[in-house]
Amino acid sequence: MALAVLSVLGYFLLKGIAYVQEAAEQTAMERTVSALEFGLRYEAASRVAGGRQRDKAELARLNPMQWLARPPENYLGELQQAPDGAKARGSWYFDPEKREVVYRLRFDEHFRPARKGSAELRWQVVVEGPEATGGAALRLLTPYEWF
């Protein structure tokens, strides 16, 4: 009887730990996205302030990770193809061909992607409106929700 109770308690303890790990991953991912958005806004504003409005269009071709003081520890760099295996889970990379920043989830039990079977999120820099007045934004290409 005691073994059964300990087994049930162990199960719920492990489920709780897994939930906390997933919540921590979500928070870290969202903080990185916020840092990328801030870096993009800063870079766009500095180009406008320097009289280089036309240079803003170039932002859509650049790797947004370069605007961070330091890329995340789990950033794999610019990769021509998606990484495989366990190393790729829980990591960021930049796809230079598609010009997309990609995050591959490590924990996805409570993650619901818009596209079934995908455990990665993608963003792209877009420059909107006339170059003199338009803004630059980091657009999420793969909608999702965490529940």
Mean pLDDT of all residues belonging to the chain: 87
- Percent of the chain clearing pLDDT 90 (strictly above): 45
Q: Is residue 129 over pLDDT 70?
A: no
* Count of residues in the chain: 147
- Strands (DSSP E) along the chain, which ranges? 75-78, 91-95, 100-104, 111-113, 120-127, 136-140, 144-146
Express each pLDDT in 50-92 by its tens digit: 888 777 788 999 999 999 999 999 999 999 888 887 778 999 9
- Whether residue 112 has pLDDT greater than 70: yes
Q: What is the pTM of this model?
A: 0.86
Look-up: residue for tokens 């916020």?
Answer: 34
Per-residue model confidence (pLDDT) at position 130: 59
Domain ranges of the chain: 2-146
Region 15-22: mean pLDDT is 85
